[in-house]
Amino acid sequence: MDLMQVEQKMMNRGFVLVFFIFLSFALAAQEDIKPSELAAEIRESVRQEKIANALDEEWQNNDEILRIAEESYLKELGSLKDVFEILSKHSKNLKVSLKSSYTGAEFGNDREKFLSNFSRKMQDSLVLPTYREIERVWYENMLEMIESRNVSRFSAMVMNADGTQTRCEVMRVGNLAALCGDKYLEYLPEINMYRIMNNLPKNFRYRFGLKASDKDKYTLVYIDPRRVFNESD
C-alpha cells in the first residue's frame, strides 16, 4: 500500500468520524441523551480511531520490514535458488515414477508421501529444505535405481481376481514384472498392492532369462518394459 492510499484511507476515516459526531448530536436531540453521555461516547470514538490509526501505521512499518528482509534473503540465496528449483522438479518426477513402480508393494508408499510434502514445501521460495530432506531425496532415487535392476523375493498380500486377498511369495523382476508362483501380477498403486492377472497381456512380448539363486538353470520370465497392463489386449 503506497503513501497516497494510506492518506486516502486516513481521510475516509476522518470523514466517518465527523459524520458519526454529527449523527450522535442528531440522535441525542431526538432521544434526549445527556450531553455528558454524548461527550463520553465521542471521546471513546476518537480514542478508538487513534488506536486504529496506530495499528495501521504499525502494520505498514512491519510490511516494509518484511519486504526488505525477503529481498535481502533472496539476494543472499543467489544461485542456490536455481539448485533448489532443480531439486524440486526432480522430486516431482521421482514421485510420478514411484507411483507406478513395481517396487511400491515392497517398499510402501511412505516415500511418495514424503516426496509430495517435499514438493509442496519447495514451492515456497522462503522455505529451505533441510539436509536430511535433501539426503532422503537422493536416497529414494538411488534405491529405485538399484531395485529397478534387482530380482527380489518377499512375502506380500496379493489380490485375487475376485477381490479376495491371499499371501504369497512374490518374485519381483526389477521394475518389469512380478510373479506369485506361476501367476503374473500387476501393481495397483491406489491400494499399494499386487493383483493376480488371469491372462497374460499381449504387451508381455519379451522373455527374460532369470537364474534362480538356488538352482543352476535359467527360468524364462515374460516382461513388459513399458509397464502397460490391459488384460483385454
- Regarding whether 160 and 135 lie in a shared domain, the answer is no
Q: Report the distance separating Cα 57 and Cα 216, nearest Å.
A: 82
- Regarding whether 85 and 69 lie in a shared domain, the answer is no
Which residues have C-beta within 8 Å of that of residue 208, sequence separation ≥ 6? Answer: 173, 176, 177, 220, 221, 222, 223
Q: Report the distance separating Cα 173 and Cα 222, nearest Å.
A: 10
Whether 111 contacts 94, CB under 8 Å: no
Residue ending a domain, among 77, 102, 120, is 77
Domain-embedded: residue 43: yes
Residue 228 has pLDDT above 50, yes or no: no
- Please state the domain count of the chain: 3
Question: Could you tell me the three cell numbers for 128?
Answer: 529451505
Q: Report the distance separating Cα 1 and Cα 4, nearest Å.
A: 8
- Regarding whether 179 and 119 lie in a shared domain, the answer is no
The DSSP secondary-structure symbol of 203 reads T
**Mean of per-residue pLDDT scores for the chain:** 75
77 conformational bin, left if phi > 0, alpha if psi -120 to 50, beta if neither: alpha
Q: Over the stretch 108-145, which tens digit does the pLDDT of each residue have?
A: 889 999 999 998 888 776 677 888 999 999 999 999 99
Residues β-bridged to residue 184: 179
Domain-embedded: residue 228: no
Position with higher pLDDT, 210 vs 104? 104
Residue ending a domain, among 58, 77, 96, is 77
- Regarding whether 157 and 143 lie in a shared domain, the answer is no
pLDDT of residue 173: 87
pLDDT of residue 224: 59
Whether 158 contacts 166, CB under 8 Å: yes
> Quick one: CA dihedral 215, 216, 221, 224, positive or negative?
positive
> What percent of the chain has pLDDT above 90?
19
Q: Report the distance separating Cα 184 and Cα 169, nearest Å.
A: 12
- Regarding whether 60 and 26 lie in a shared domain, the answer is yes
- Regarding whether 92 and 70 lie in a shared domain, the answer is no
Residue ending a domain, among 147, 167, 182, is 147
- Regarding whether 159 and 143 lie in a shared domain, the answer is no
Domain-embedded: residue 233: no
Whether 196 contacts 229, CB under 8 Å: no
Residue 67 has pLDDT above 60, yes or no: yes
- Regarding whether 86 and 72 lie in a shared domain, the answer is no
The model's pTM: 0.59
Q: Over the stretch 150-180, which tens digit does the pLDDT of each residue have?
A: 889 999 999 998 889 999 999 998 888 888 9
- Please give the residue range of the domain that contains residue 209: 151-223
